[in-house]
Amino acid sequence: MLAVLSAPAAFLPAVQLPASRSHVQMRIDDTFAPAGMGKEYLQQPRKPLSEYVGASQELAAFPGGVVQPWDPMSFSKLNMVSGNNPDVGWLREAELKHGRMSMLAVTGIIVQSSGIHLPGNAEIDFSGASNWATAPTTLPLVAWSQVLLFIGLVEGCTSQGLFDLYNGVGTREPGNLGPFFGSGMLSKDKKAADLMRLKELKNGRLAMIAWAGIMSNHFIPGALPGCMFN
């Protein structure tokens, strides 16, 4: 995997993308994988990065007028090298999950530091919860049970079709939590729904940067100027 991440894009198989970008499927005809070791997955029609909401093109203008989504590390092309590497859909779901957890984490730090707790927890000792860095080791089992239950519910909703998503087959939408907390909360208008997906994606990316800054400021005081959460 490290060799794949460090390999320049020139060593990756050439892929021809159709001119139209509306519901395009990308097919890889030439792969490095032998039969029986992922080749059947590599040759499946796949949805390219350009078809995903939030595929940035701000810095993607290359000489010759060719415009492609910005992916300098070629993470979206890992599945072209080996069937053991994840598809773009799986990477998008991982990004969404990290972004959502980071948004919850940053909000939790702000709320807990203010002394606000979930209702019905008056009997729980939250004396160590005001400091986010020590809260994981000071909170009682009852509080941790709530966290584990929440994680179990989310992972249970997204477990179906996870391997198909990794292999680039199937039709499950990355990050969709179902009709109650997923696509059911979006507008029926595709343009409006995609705009909301883009907002979530960008807020999640910002939250991941914020979370990294808060952690850096904790271990290296002053690393994030103005940060009150030490």
> Can you tell me the distance from the alpha carbon of 103 to that of 130, in angstroms, rounded to the nearest whole number?
18
Q: Is residue 11's pLDDT more than 60?
A: no
Q: Is residue 143's pLDDT more than 90?
A: no
Q: Say if residue 76 carries a ligand binding annotation.
A: yes
Q: What is the pLDDT of residues 57-75, one digit of tens each?
A: 665 555 555 667 888 888 8
Q: Say if residue 92 carries a ligand binding annotation.
A: no
Classify domain 88-219 by CATH number: 1.10.3460
Of the pLDDT bands very low, low, confident and very high (cuts 50, 70, 90), residue 28 is: low
Q: Say if residue 51 carries a ligand binding annotation.
A: no
Q: Is the pTM of the predicted complex or chain greater than 0.85?
A: no
Q: Say if residue 200 carries a ligand binding annotation.
A: yes
Q: Say if residue 155 carries a ligand binding annotation.
A: yes
Q: Say if residue 21 carries a ligand binding annotation.
A: no
Q: Say if residue 58 carries a ligand binding annotation.
A: no
Average pLDDT in the chain:
75
Of the pLDDT bands very low, low, confident and very high (cuts 50, 70, 90), residue 120 is: low
pLDDT on residue 200:
94
Q: Say if residue 191 carries a ligand binding annotation.
A: no
Q: Say if residue 166 carries a ligand binding annotation.
A: no
Q: Which residues contact 49 (CB under 8 A, 6 or more apart)?
A: 55, 69, 71, 76, 88
Q: What is the pLDDT of residues 196-227, one digit of tens each?
A: 999 999 999 999 999 999 888 888 888 878 77
> Can you tell me the distance from the alpha carbon of 61 to that of 65, in angstroms, rounded to the nearest whole number?
7
Q: Say if residue 85 carries a ligand binding annotation.
A: no
Report the pLDDT averaged over residues 134-153. Answer: 83
Q: Domain limits of the chain?
A: 1-84, 88-219
Of the pLDDT bands very low, low, confident and very high (cuts 50, 70, 90), residue 15 is: very low
Q: Say if residue 202 carries a ligand binding annotation.
A: no
> Can you tell me the distance from the alpha carbon of 94 to that of 103, in angstroms, rounded to the nearest whole number?
14
What are the Cα distances from residue 148, in Å, to 145, 155, 174? 5, 10, 22
Q: Say if residue 173 carries a ligand binding annotation.
A: no
